[in-house]
Amino acid sequence: MKIQDTLTAIFQEKFGRPAAFLARAPGRVNLLGEHVDYNDGFVLPAAIDRATYIAFAPSDSGLTTLWAADFDKQAAFSPETLPAKTQPDGSPLPDWARYPAGIMWALGEAGLETPGMDAVFASDVPRGSGLSSSASVEMAFGVAWQQLGGWALAPMELAKLGQRAENQYVGVNCGIMDQFASACGVENRLLLLDCRSLEWETLALPEGVSIVVADTTVRRKLTSGEYNQRRASCEEAVRRLQASLPDIRSLRDVSVAGFNRLAGSLPAEIEKRARHVVEEIERTRQAISLLQAGDASRFGNLMNECHASLRDLYEVSCPELDVMVEIAQSLSGCYGARLTGAGFGGCTVNLVAQEYAEAFANALAAGYKSKTGLHPEIYICKASAGAGLL
């Protein structure tokens, strides 16, 4: 049974009437440009054909009542209970409900109507895997409130409010990429986002390639502390480099040649972190012309270089990710493989010739299981459309 049919059946059972609408918002995978979004760099994500789905209808009570089908749990909130992050009975909002509540809060702060709704939702984006399950929840609820509130926002504006919800309400200091990709996805296209100006365009995937996502099933152990240390190292590098390059605002403004000239003046760890970012931004710039030329092979080489840099310079890989990437890179039809997302677990992304995709997925799963004893989840993905009503 399709996920949306399941949700409409649960909605009828829970709320005693049919759902009025269905909304969907995809997860995302990032092909190149990792850990550069908070350094004003360029990222190359795609929305994927795994998503959060919501069956919903306006509520008569003014309350928003949610049933999370994946957890078999219910929560409720209203604009009045949002600031305290509680339910109407005073109990704390469960963690999973903070993402929808955060979107209601951010929309309200922007002066947009968020009428009460009854909703049942579920997702086939694996949680904690680096495929932005939280952003897909935020964007799906943004679309739902847009329908019920009778207002319209450009997808990028909705993405910005989703980022604000996650930063200021949920308390995760993420960049804009995840919400952007979920809101603005375009079928069969990669998205090129300038994280400084927020200007974006789409680029075609090379002909005859598949995006294969491999979930190590190791859940990210990236504590906010590790992530924040990486950000702090980048900021410290900028501060030190400004002595010689007074006009730079972020590592985005430092060329590879300029960095090489000054790298010796940085402490060893700061130099490694900053080198990854400077070189990764340059890789993403190079990728544009390769994609325009349909050169899957050289684009894949950039993905391979990115993984080595994340492993050795940024140090956000883990043994399971490295094993998954090594096996992938040895298999026929694989142009490139790397960890995707924040790191320390989660998924790899692989660019694979279409005719090899099935055999690649099977061989990768078998090889990974024999080396780690873990059962991976492997998905052959398509670049999909962004958030909207079904």
Tokens of 107: 């929309």
Structure-derived torsion over alpha carbons of residues 225, 231, 236, 238, reported in degrees to the nearest 10: 180
Q: Which of 37, 118, 178, 253 is catalytic?
A: 178
Residue 162 CA: distances (Å) to CA of 54, 113, 349: 17, 15, 24
**Cβ–Cβ under 8 Å, residues 50 and 378:** no
Tokens of 371: 């080396």
**Is residue 178 flagged as an active site residue?**
yes
> Is 139 strand, coil or helix?
helix
**Cβ–Cβ under 8 Å, residues 324 and 223:** no
By C-alpha distance, which of 207, 209, 356, 353 is closest to 293? 207
**Cβ–Cβ under 8 Å, residues 17 and 57:** yes
Q: Name residues whose C-beta falls within 8 Å of residue 44's C-beta, 6 or more positions apart in sequence.
A: 30, 31, 32, 33, 190, 191, 192, 203, 284, 287
Query: Residues with catalytic annotation?
Result: 178
